[in-house]
Amino acid sequence: MEVLDKLKILADSAKYDVSCSSSGSKRPNTKDGIGNGFAGGICHSFASDGRCISLLKILMTNICIYDCKYCINRKSNDIKRAYFTPKEIADLTIEFYKRNYIEGLFLSSGIINSPDYTMEQIYNAVYILRKEHKFNGYIHAKIIPGSSQELINKVRKPCR
């Protein structure tokens, strides 16, 4: 599966996280207008000082081992599934950042294999961004329920 195809699937799955109200919008530009909204994972959040921050909002995967009835990504739901590798997430984030589309990353995930395995994959993506790409932008990495405190601490401080 191509990265753009994954982006469409995993940005769409991420829009159900209520923390960014503008995710999933699609507004084409008009003949005499400027700018447009792309549904491919850009959401807006607000900093404590009131600034609007554009974030790439995606799931690492919408594959999940659990079958929570309230969740769109539950195991029994018949939806298209996709998975980003940590490197794909890092590279995608950097490419969006270089084009000035985003200021940061909002990353969550379905649970693949186990909570610890999933948290380790999120850590790997954050590590690649911070260490290999030297990315100092905003990263919001969701904590995976059931993952170990050690892994949670690694994600919080990936470069120390």
Q: Return the CATH number at 74.
A: 3.20.20.70
Q: Is 11 left (phi over 0), alpha (psi -120 to 50) or beta?
A: alpha
Domain count, the chain: 1
> What was the pLDDT predicted at 135?
95
* Helix ranges (DSSP H) in 15-145: 86-98, 115-127
Question: Is 97 part of any domain?
Answer: yes
DSSP 68: -
pTM for this prediction: 0.83
Taking residue 46's Cβ as centre, other Cβ atoms within 10 Å add up to: 10
pLDDT band at 29 (very low <50, low <70, confident <90, very high): low
Q: Given this model, what pLDDT does residue 158 score?
A: 67
55-110 pLDDT, tens digit per residue, is 999 999 999 999 999 989 999 999 999 999 999 999 999 999 999 999 999 999 99
* 28 inside domain: no
Q: So what's the pLDDT on residue 23? A: 46
Can you give the residue range of the structural domain that contains 114? 3-18+39-156
pLDDT at position 67 is: 96
